[in-house]
Copies of this chain bind each other. A is one copy, B any other.
Amino acid sequence: MSRTRVHNLFISLDGYAAGEYVTLDAPIGDARGLFAGFDGRVIHGIDRADADVTLDRALTTLWGQGVGAEIMGRRKFGPQTGEWPDGGWRGWWGDEPPFETPVFVMTHHPHPTLDFANGTSFRFVDGTAQEVLALAQEAAQGGDVRIGGGPTTVRQFLEADLIDFMHLAVVPITLGRGVSLWDGLAGVEERFTVESVASASGVTHQLWNRIARG
């Protein structure tokens, strides 16, 4: 059964998962502190970096295991708003986006598909969370679907009760402003079991598993 998963979602102690101001120079807005301890080199495996194998890294590597497609919000793909401008924007990630699967970018504005040699393709789709998830599950060919963020997109899928697993990394900083993951989600934890694990880095990891529907 294909699961819908969230990985490496960093949030501050006050619940903010991204900064307010996303620009070309600052893709995560003013929330850089959230990612200070994040080493993206190990999303595909602990062997991808010649460095100590810590709890933080071990959990980071879950990101790609068994994932056949990703869904992301348009603001994760780029800082533009409204109609897509000409200009050849192909995302933040250069010629080798780390996804290596189909990626569905949720947007109301049409855009041609972008294909990359490493298996990544960006497909621009309009629809509800359920509709886009159905597309992604078909593309995943039996694999799981990752909801890649940003926080607004994760919140949309949580509201629709479509998330089976979520890995949160609670970072011991306060941001005071930003995009809150939890807006409108009071009581969401009642649908999950939550395992919390403290890391030597100060980060607390939370593993949210959806209680079996029944």
Q: Is the CB of A209 within 8 A of B53?
A: yes
Interface of chain A residues 169 through 186 with chain B (CB within 8 A): none
Q: Is the CB of B197 within 8 A of A1?
A: no
Interface of chain A residues 45 through 84 with chain B (CB within 8 A): 45-48, 50, 52-55, 58-59, 61-62, 65-67
Q: If the complex has contacts A48-B66, A66-B48, are A55 and B143 also in contact, measured as CB distance less than 8 A?
A: no
Q: Name which residue of chain B comes closest to A144, CB basis.
A: B47
A118 within 8 A of B: no
CB distance from A51 to the nearest CB of B (A): 9
Q: If the complex has contacts A58-B207, A144-B47, are A193 and B52 also in contact, measured as CB distance less than 8 A?
A: yes
Q: Is the CB of B46 within 8 A of A197?
A: no
* Chain B residues whose C-beta falls within 8 Å of the C-beta of A65 in the assembled complex: 45-47, 61
**Copies in the assembly, this chain:** 2
Q: Is the CB of A207 within 8 A of B47?
A: no
A195 within 8 A of B: yes
Contact of A207 among B48, B50, B54, B165 (CB under 8 A): B54
CB distance from A205 to the nearest CB of B (A): 8
A200 within 8 A of B: yes
Kindly name the residue among A45, A58, A209 whose own CB sees the greatest number of chain B CB atoms within 10 A: A58
CA distance A209 to B58 in the complex (A): 13
Q: Name which residue of chain B comes closest to A67, CB basis.
A: B47
* Chain B residues whose C-beta falls within 8 Å of the C-beta of A130 in the assembled complex: none
* Chain B residues whose C-beta falls within 8 Å of the C-beta of A54 in the assembled complex: 195, 207, 209
| CB<8 Å pairs between A and B, sample of 12 | A1-B50, A5-B53, A46-B62, A46-B66, A47-B67, A47-B143, A52-B193, A53-B209, A54-B207, A55-B197, A61-B62, A195-B200
14 new A-B contacts, CB < 8 A, other than A5-B53, A46-B62, are: A1-B50, A45-B65, A46-B66, A52-B165, A52-B207, A52-B209, A54-B195, A54-B209, A55-B197, A55-B207, A61-B62, A195-B200, A197-B198, A197-B199
